[in-house]
Amino acid sequence: MKNLKTLNFLVVVATLVAAFSCSEFRRLEKSEDWRLKYEAGLDYFKKKDYYHTAILFEQILPIVRGLPEGEKVEFSLAYCQFYQKTYLLASNQFKVFYETYGRSQLSEEAYFMYAYSLFIASPDEKLDQKSSIEAMGAMQNFLNQFSGSQFTDKATEVIAKTQEKLEKKEFDNAKLYMQLNYYQAAIITFDNFRKSFPDSKYLEQGSYLKITSQFKWAEKSIPSKQLERYKATLDFYKEFIEGFPKSPLIKDAQYFYTASLNQINFLKIKNKNS
């Protein structure tokens, strides 16, 4: 019974505190004293109450813009958006801050956060990567503009992760063409992938899958096209062996090489006899 009374008392106290806090914030909202809202907003921000910070700072932003306090307000608003996970809004807010306060000591951080927010907002590799490309470009511009920055390591990491995401997207596109039996499109995409990402960890697998695609394309082709396409399979196999002489996929690739040789010999005999 004693524990129940204590619990009820705590609930009542919590309710009264919440009600007081709510009424206090409503009083601040209605106040015409922008300085009062400014100080209260800073206090809310310190407490990580970004929702209430944003409400107060958005109210006073038109008043403080151009004043010393305006810089703090706009920078804090950008972080409020970021911490509330509205990353695209945060990115835009950081960009506006950088463009408005280019000489500020906070401009470097603002530009980094503009690019970083874009990166956080970008989707996984299964979706369109336009925003990922934009994020990588913005982060590269940051590194070019702020050499030796405290954010250099993080910026470099973001670029590497974005690059890997773009690699995975392009590689998965090529594999999807294979799965849909669009072998010619798969071969072209694997070639483009190698040119775009010459150091990718997927090059070995991509080179092997290009052999597979070429062989299957030859199989599906009309008789008049088969000979040249089986020969291309042999060329792709040689490229694979030269590029990855110790690959564990060599034995699998040899199947397509041998099968292509057999088909070429068969077609040559057939054409000779016809």
pLDDT in tens, 49-66: 999 999 999 999 999 988
pLDDT over threshold 90, residue 227: yes
- Do residues 68 and 95 lie in contact, with contact meaning Cβ atoms separated by under 8 Å? no
Tell me which fold the domain 85-180 belongs to: 1.25.40
pTM above threshold 0.85: no
Please give the CATH number for the structural domain made up of 181-274: 1.25.40.10
Band the pLDDT of 194: cuts 50, 70, 90: very high
Residue 132 has pLDDT above 80, yes or no: yes
Q: Where in the chain is the domain with CATH 1.25.40.10?
A: 85-180, 181-274
d(CA 274, CA 269): 9
Show the DSSP H helices in 48-182 as ranges. 50-64, 68-83, 87-100, 107-121, 130-145, 152-179
Using one digit for the tens of pLDDT, what is the confidence trace for 82-112? 999 999 999 999 999 999 998 899 999 999 9
